[in-house]
Amino acid sequence: MDCSRGYQSPPTVLSNPSIPVNERLIVALDMPDPAGAKALVETLGDDVVFYKLGFELFLAGAYPEFLGWLADRGKKCFVDLKFYDVPRTVAAAVRQLERRGAAFCTVHGDDAILRAAVAERKTTKILAVTVLTSLDRAGIESLGFKGNVGELVLSRARGAVAAGCDGVISSGQEAERLRAVVPPAFRIVTPGIRPAENKPADDQKRTVDVEEAFQFGADHIVVGRPIVGAKDPKAAAADHQRRIHALFKAGR
């Protein structure tokens, strides 16, 4: 599939069957304060098991406490701080996350940075960032990269596999090509999920909808605004889970 010309018909084989279906949805708690985030988690209840915490909550304070609060409620946490620093500093950050029980964390950078993170991980899965879903071809060219987005994503994913990472963050538009070249257990986590009828009116450019993401080989999807910003977040989360369960039931 040539990512520069858009994606085509999805494959019929879905990803790693050992992943619990209710953990395939990750809700992004991109919110300005911990109290509001906790209220949303309580509202979503059993409909959501997995949450992503990013820079906004980190800068709001009480990030470590929030990780513990989620763990106490049986939730999994994806720490999305995109560690990018000298290898020793990144290794130290991963050690801290291991103590906090984070399930996933994102790391940016070259092979030395990725390998430093991998060397310190025990149960926290290291996810390498490929190309942000807010970037298209013009965006990567403005950063000095030539060629199409798909080739850059593939190159970075191969580097992540070689460094021992557990997975990558990638748009669903590149997931099919990635699934063909990475090991079966290698996680593909896809942000930028938008409704098929509304793609997109925001900063995300390389988007897919729920079914497309998994049909192209994603293991997990990260959903923010379509759930967090919904009039009824609980109903929106339940609908996402219903669609995911239906897809995997049919695919098996």
Active site positions, annotated = 82
Instruction: Centre a 10 Å sphere on the Cβ of residue 98 and count the other Cβ atoms it contains.
Output: 15
Angle at 62 between CA 56 and CA 64, to 5 degrees: 100
Cα distance between residue 117 and residue 35, in whole Å: 31
As given in the structure block, the two tokens for residue 126 are 């290291």
